[in-house]
Structures are given as C-alpha cells and as structure tokens.
Amino acid sequence: MKSYWPLNVGSLSTQQRCYIVSGIEDLLLEQSYQQIIKFAKKNGFNEHHRLYGSEDLNTSKLDQLIINKGLFSQGTIIDIRLPEGKTGRSGAGVLLETIDKIQKHTHTFLLISANNLSKKLSAKWVDKLEQVGMHIQHPLLNERKKRDWLRQRLQQANISIEQKAQDFLLVLTEGNLLALEQQIRQLEIATIEEITLQQLHKRFQDEARFNLYALPEKIFSGQATKALRMCRRLRQEGEPLVLICWSIINELSLGIQVAELQKNQQSPATFFKSKRIWPERQQILNTVAQYGLEHLLQKIQHLHLIDKQSKGQASGDGWLSLEQFISLWEIYETKQS
C-alpha cells in the first residue's frame, strides 16, 4: 500500500514487514526511517544490518541475512539505503526475490530508503513491495508547507521567534530543512526569551560561523585548513557526525551527477535549475566535477565508510577518518593544480 508523509505510526504492522521511504527531503526521510526502526526494534527485530547502494544488492549476502536470524535476536532488520533510488543492473531482480523470501521468514524486517529522487519512484520491485508492505512517499514541500513545518518545529523546541525572524531563517537556509534543523538546534541552547530579526542578523554576521553547510563548500573549494577547523569546532559543539557525513555526501553526489553530464557532453544547466542550485554552488559543483568521475566515485565510497563508522557499523574512528578525507582531498587538489 502507499502512504504519504507524515507517517502514521499506528499504521505500522509486523504483518507488513517490507517498507520503503522515498522522497527528496532528507530530514523528513530520516524522521520516518527512525520511527520505523523504533517500531521494528520494539517488536523484537533487534539485529540491525545496514546495506548501502546497488553494490550491496547481492543475492548471497541478502540470503545470509534473511536465513540467519542471529544468536541473540528474535528478528533481523535489513536496512538498505539507495541513493537516487538506483538499484544497478541486477539489483532490481535481487530485490524482487528478496521481498518474496522475506514473506516466508517472519523474523526478517526490510526497510529501504531512497533519497534525492527527481522523479517518482517506480519499478517492478516497488510495485511488489507496495503489494505486500508499505511505501511512504515524502513530497517536496512548497513554501507554505515549509513555513508550517518551521512553525511547528519551533513550537516543539519551545522557541519564541517573531515572524520576520522566521522568514529570515527560511531565506538564510534557502528552505533546506536540514539547514533549518541545524539552526533550530543552536537556537535551543540560546538564553533568549524572544528572538527578533535584529538578533538573528547579528548572530549570522560572522562569516566564519561553523555549520554543516559551510563545511562541504570549504572542502571542495580547496580550503582544507578552514575545513579542518570547522570540522573540529562542529565536533566540540556536539554536532552528530552522521549529519555532517550526509551534508558532504549530498554535495559530492551532486558533483558526481554534474561529472556524468559533462562526460556525456551535456550541459548541467537544466540539472541546476531542477535542483534549484544557486550560481555560487554551481561554480563549486563544476569545480568538483573536474576531478573526474572515477576519482569522485572513489571519494564517495570513502565517505560511505565514514558514515558507517559514525553509526558503529564499521571499525575505525569516524572523526579521524573525516579529517583524513579532508586532508587527502587537499593533497589531490594540489597535485591537480
């Protein structure tokens, strides 16, 4: 069956053990994802396996997870992240088989997350999943709904802020929900009873402010020293590494798409327009694309490993790995120049 954001948690059922969340707004996807994971774990699916991308859609790997319940768990969660909803050449067939097999193993719970979709997600495996499970679709919010979301989120955070200041936040973050969430978290720790537009202006006058969305820009524009300083400051401020990884992965993913267009001798102008990317970011993404598709694909695999480390799903220190990633980018940039 199909459902739409916001997710109705009461509609979740262990009789339906196959779920997919899809859409463009990463923050909304993550919120729904966390709600479904919480539901699954509450119902005994305690062993959690994360797979990422089409390279992990392997029949033998998935069969092993489906058949082996685990020694200390009543059930297993198979969590698959599909950037752009892409399954690769054989992945769609693997998913069709997997969905059928999961229906025969009551201890297995399947959750698929497909983000940054420019088109409606449609494929045979999606139709199959909708027949036996639930597909929660997340629309791209228009300006009015973003205002409503911001108002509700500020109320949840118990933050009192005048309307002009709310409008300023939307302009400052260009309506990006992840960026808005970052600003709200910082406002939560402020000791101001009523936040005004003037106070927000003063807060954001410092061009050296540290936030999630300045970091990728510093990395990919070759400002490694500033990027490392930002990274360490974000860590000191308690910013989750997983959110930092998302911001860098999302930006690099856009750069990869631009590189693919350039490789096929296609202009990225339509792509930039569809993604609502402003001119300054276009320059950065064009610069990123010049590194070459093969190199960028290697870099994003490195980031996926750091993402897994941030969730405790791979060995190693994620923060140290991120600093190495930033430093190595500078080394490669120096070689290129």
Which DSSP symbol is given to 54?
A: G
Residue 137 — φ and ψ, nearest 5°?
A: -95, 135
Q: Render pLDDT for 120-167 as a digit per residue (tens, 0 to 9).
A: 677 888 899 989 999 998 888 888 888 999 998 888 888 888 888 888
Strands 75-83 and 108-115: parallel
Q: Examine the pLDDT at 12 and tell me if it is beyond 80.
A: yes
Give pLDDT, residue 333.
Answer: 54
Q: Do domains 143-203 and 215-336 have the same CATH topology?
A: no
Q: Examine the pLDDT at 193 and tell me if it is beyond 70.
A: no
Q: Render pLDDT for 103-129 as a digit per residue (tens, 0 to 9).
A: 888 888 888 888 765 556 778 888 999
H helices present in 112-240, as ranges: 124-132, 143-156, 163-172, 177-188, 197-203, 215-220, 224-236
Q: Examine the pLDDT at 258 and tell me if it is beyond 80.
A: yes
Give pLDDT, residue 112.
Answer: 87
CATH classification code of 2-138: 3.40.50.300
Domain ranges of the chain: 2-138, 143-203, 215-336
Distance CA 157, CA 172 (A): 19
Of 136, 103, 176, 134, nearest in space to 32 by CA: 136
* Averaged pLDDT of the chain: 83
Q: Which residues pair with 21 in a beta bridge?
A: 113, 136
Confirm or reject CATH 1.10.287 for domain 143-203, answering yes or no: no
| pLDDT-based confidence at residue 206 (cuts at 50, 70, 90) | very low
| Lookup: tokens for 210 | 């540290």
Give pLDDT, residue 192.
Answer: 65
pTM: 0.56
Of 155, 57, 148, nearest in space to 110 by CA: 57
- The SS3 of residue 104 is coil
Arithmetic mean of pLDDT, 331-335: 53
Arithmetic mean of pLDDT, 15-43: 88
| pLDDT-based confidence at residue 299 (cuts at 50, 70, 90) | very high
Confirm or reject CATH 3.40.50.720 for domain 215-336, answering yes or no: no
H helices present in 43-102, as ranges: 59-67, 88-102
| Residue count (the chain) | 337
Distance CA 106, CA 70 (A): 13
The residue among 325 and 311 whose pLDDT is bigger is 325
Q: Render pLDDT for 66-84 as a digit per residue (tens, 0 to 9).
A: 877 655 567 889 898 887 7
Q: Examine the pLDDT at 187 and tell me if it is beyond 60.
A: yes
